[in-house]
Amino acid sequence: MKRTLLSSFILGLVTLGTAIANTDAKHPKEINFSFKGSFGTFKRAELQRGFEVYKNVCASCHAIDHLRFGNLQGKGKGIHEIRESNLGLTKDEVAALAAEYKVPDINGDGEPIERKATAVDKFPKPYPNQKAARAANNGAYPPDLSMVVKARKFGPDYVYSLLTGYEKAPEGVEIGEGRHYNPYFSGGQISMAQPLHTEGQVTYSDGTKATVEQMAHDVTAFLAWASEPESDDRKQMGIKVMFYLLIMSIVMYLSKRRIWADVK
């Protein structure tokens, strides 16, 4: 009994501490993302560019564990269509993309092997485990990015602001070793070096000019989609339901008038 009280007290203190620590970050910029709001939708070209940024820049440190290669395929039939996707890659494009990666498996004799990935495989993680990830990143852990937009307050605005928010530390602010000044991060210092820093760092296959802001915008949209890939379907269903209810109301109104027409 005593112990539970004590541990709840400590937990309470920790929660409070985190809450206070979180208030010191700068309020994120407000970005006009196409997918915001009840009628907002993702833009396919933006998602495809965002994936190119993730793949070429972020994937070397961050896993995106909820995503399978097949999730990038457009609407289609068959087992590769795990859920509807807005990236709209063809089946062949997905297969070619997956084949660029190796995944661990077990052969017929039960021995561990590596084979080329296919559409049903998840994106391979950059590190085998958390310890290895921390060892490579100065003790900090690069979190899985599948849910980060949903998990953080002000989700997409925060991620965009963080990516574009690196600055020179103000006079008098001491920066820890391996840390970087970023006022949008809780505490103002982050162990991730500015990942998007140079125009043209990524070569977009659609020819869009890859400014830092553009890359940050696109990758944030992609991560928002990854954390909620059914959001467009859900919104569309909402609109259909509203339309159906409207039509039904009109039909009901007209039939009521007919039925009661003879009653004087």
Binding mask 195-214 for ligand HEC (x = CB under 6 A): xx------------------
CA–CA dist 57, 215 (Å, integer): 10
- With CB under 6 A as the contact rule, the residue among 49, 68, 80, 152 that binds ligand HEC is 152
Under the binding rule (CB under 6 A), the answer on residue 226 touching ligand HEC is: no
Q: What's CA 251's distance to the chain center, in Å?
A: 43
- With CB under 6 A as the contact rule, the residue among 45, 103, 140, 169 that binds ligand HEC is 140
Binding mask 175-194 for ligand HEC (x = CB under 6 A): ---------------xxx--
Nearer to ligand HEC among residue 23 and residue 38 (C-beta) = 23
Measuring CA to CA, which residue among 259, 50, 11 is closest to residue 149?
A: 50
Which among 10-18, 158-166, 203-211, 242-250 is the span making contact with ligand HEC, rule CB under 6 A? Answer: 158-166
Please state, as a whole number, how many other Cβ atoms lie within 10 Å of the Cβ of residue 205.
9
CB of 163 to ligand HEC, least distance (A): 6
Site for ligand HEC in 73-132 (CB under 6 A): none
- With CB under 6 A as the contact rule, the residue among 64, 89, 117, 219 that binds ligand HEC is 219
- What's the half-sphere exposure (Cβ side, CA atoms, 13 Å) at 22? 10
Under the binding rule (CB under 6 A), the answer on residue 148 touching ligand HEC is: yes
CA distances from 1 to 9, 13, 170, 258 (A): 12, 18, 48, 70
| Single-letter amino acid code for the residue at 253 | Y
Measuring CA to CA, which residue among 204, 205, 206, 225 is closest to residue 215?
A: 204
